[in-house]
Amino acid sequence: MSEEVRNKIISTAEVLFLKFGFKRVTMDDISNELGMSKKTIYQFFSDKNNLVSETVLRHISMEKNACDCLLHQQENPVAFMLAITDTFGDLKKQINPSVLYDLKKYFKESWDILNEYRVEFIFNQILQNLKEGRDKGFYHSNFDEVLIARFYIHLVDFMINPENYALEKFDFKTIHSEMMKYHLRAICTEKGLKYLEGSPIYQKLL
């Protein structure tokens, strides 16, 4: 029962954080949203920093699980990258751009956790995808997969840093879609492009 309550607190906090930003949402806001006393919340989390950290960790865990599921469901490496775009695009559209700014400025420990995930897990996912795509003829063979995976991480870094596009007011979904089109069209062979352009998901990105 206590684990159920703990998960409910994290779930509610995550919704509020993603909608309004980490700095703006208070423990009182979370308490009111839950209809639960702050005393109960503090039985599970020592302070707001602790709750933010646990929220980020759970979000990362859910993303990893989703990626693992998609990896085993897709018929080829191009399909996997498109599925990632489709699955996470709507989620990113719901994120208030101030969320990541808040995290980086006010909750550095949690930001570092997110950054480590980006650098290690996402890098390894892309590296594996590049190798598989090249082996199966969907991607060109004349590139260094480690460098391309690093380039991709820099694109992700651009996407998660609102300061890069604050004036243009693009949302995460648009940026992620454009990023993926740029990435795939640069590395796909004729075989890869044929699959890409025939995909319903890709048609939605156009």
Indicate which CATH number applies to the domain containing 80.
1.10.357
pLDDT score of 90 more than 80: no
Domain-embedded: residue 188: yes
Q: How many domains does the chain have?
A: 1
Domain-embedded: residue 69: yes
Question: How much is the mean pLDDT over the chain?
Answer: 89
Q: Are 103 and 22 in contact (CB under 8 A)?
A: yes
Range of the domain at 125: 59-205
Average pLDDT over residues 37-66: 94
Alpha-carbon gap, residue 155 to 45, rounded angstroms: 34
Domain-embedded: residue 172: yes
pLDDT score of 19 more than 70: yes
Percent of the chain with pLDDT over 90: 61
Percent of the chain with pLDDT over 70: 91
Domain-embedded: residue 195: yes
Domain-embedded: residue 148: yes
Domain-embedded: residue 24: no
DSSP string, 61-109: HHHHHHHHHHHHH-SSHHHHHHHHHHHHHHHHHTS-THHHHHHHHH-HH
Q: How confident is the model at residue 22 (pLDDT cuts 50, 70, 90)?
A: very high
Domain-embedded: residue 46: no
Domain-embedded: residue 2: no
